[in-house]
Amino acid sequence: MLRSVITGIGHYVPPRVVTNQDLEKRINTTDEWIRQRSGIVTRHHVEPGVNTSDLAVEAARRAVADAGIDASTIDFIVAATLSPDHYFPGIGVLVQAKLGLGTIGALDVRNQCSGFIYALGAADQFIRAGTYRRVLLVAAEVQSSNLDYSDEGRDMAVLFGDGAGAVILEPNDSDDGRGVLSTHLFSDGRFASRLWMEKPCPGDNPTFQKEFFDQGKFFPRMDGRHVFVNASERMPEAVRIGLAANGLDVGDIDALIPHQANDRISQMVAKGLKLPEEKVVRNIDRFGNTTAASIPIALDEAIKEGRIRRGQLVVLTAFGSGYTWASALIRW
């Protein structure tokens, strides 16, 4: 069976580092609270004027360079974000135009923290089907410009960071067994309002009302405990389903890359799987939660640090707004 393989990877974060101490000046919070509850020490925030597609393009350029290809040979784009530059269109077409990629198709994926794995699932199917042979998969977020720094939103405002990650996906024409083994995608929309940005909502006429601004309805909100419990259960479950589908078990995992939601959640995922913590890639301390971008950023770091080597089993898992959750198994 034809498999897709990651032939290039890159990430980009904006240069401005924001420490917990910086946040203490703006938010009713403490470094100690943030570290204890999330494990986050620093995150990166964009300067005004920098958009999600700008970060996406930087990450994409790095993935293209890593693959050693000419960008003009990319034949499809899949872009994942919850923070598109505009209400519409999505960022896929903006990335396409900024990279000068002619008229190739660009698909936007709106699955929030699970966005990268959903996008990987879609891109993998296009490659397996023989529809495309060189897909740019990019995930990017600018969260910092729409966080509620008041007491009501401080649980989320301390968590999020800006950043982007990208991979190039191509068919593996050899029989060395490398590539994406499978992806497993799940959702439960009954819990949409537990982690969401309620407005803008076209059911309101007019959609943008000052009253909604005054009520903070244009900010992301979450039911932290509900998210915590569900994320801690659903990610291990998705990993087990993926392993079983491939006749593998937890002992076969060389590296697990969970969505970097919160370090306590990543620890719960390791515990839930009975996986030694040293096999779990965690970099949330330096980047915060970068939503769709967190997995490709962590994957890129782990590869460049030599933590992931050819032939190893790499497992990705994510959970987020929707709720959506997912896993992917890759023979590196």
Distance from C-alpha of 11 to C-alpha of 139, rounded to nearest angstrom: 9
Residues 265-304 that bind ligand ACO (CB under 6 A): 265, 289
Tell which residue, 233, 230, 218, has the closest CA to residue 194: 230
Instruction: Give the nearer residue to ligand ACO in terms of CB position, either 262 or 327.
Output: 262
Among 57, 113, 253, 302, binds ligand ACO (CB under 6 A): 113
Distance from C-alpha of 268 to C-alpha of 125, rounded to nearest angstrom: 31
Instruction: Give the nearer residue to ligand ACO in terms of CB position, either 40 or 67.
Output: 40
| Shortest separation between residue 179's beta carbon and ligand ACO, angstroms | 27
Q: Considering only 63-71, 91-99, 224-232, 237-245, which stretch makes contact with ligand ACO by CB under 6 A?
A: 224-232
| Shortest separation between residue 150's beta carbon and ligand ACO, angstroms | 11
Q: Does 224 bind ligand ACO (CB under 6 A)?
A: yes
Q: Does 262 bind ligand ACO (CB under 6 A)?
A: yes
Tell me if residue 259 is catalytic: yes
Q: Does 231 bind ligand ACO (CB under 6 A)?
A: yes
Q: Does 111 bind ligand ACO (CB under 6 A)?
A: no
Among 33, 149, 186, 218, binds ligand ACO (CB under 6 A): 33
Q: Does 158 bind ligand ACO (CB under 6 A)?
A: yes
Tell me if residue 246 is catalytic: no
- Tokens representing 58 are 């930087």
Tell me if residue 201 is catalytic: no
User: Which residue among the candidates 113, 172, 184, 262 is catalytic per the annotation?
Assistant: 113
| Shortest separation between residue 17's beta carbon and ligand ACO, angstroms | 19
Q: Which residue of this chain has its Cβ atom nearest to ligand ACO in the complex? A: 224
Q: Does 228 bind ligand ACO (CB under 6 A)?
A: yes
Q: Does 155 bind ligand ACO (CB under 6 A)?
A: yes
Q: Does 227 bind ligand ACO (CB under 6 A)?
A: yes
Q: Angle at which helices 31-38 and 263-273 pack, to 10 degrees? A: 20
Active site residues: 113, 259, 289
In the complex, the residues that contact ligand ACO under the rule CB under 6 A are 29, 33, 37, 113, 154-155, 158-159, 195, 222, 224-225, 227-228, 231, 261-262, 264-265, 289, 319-320
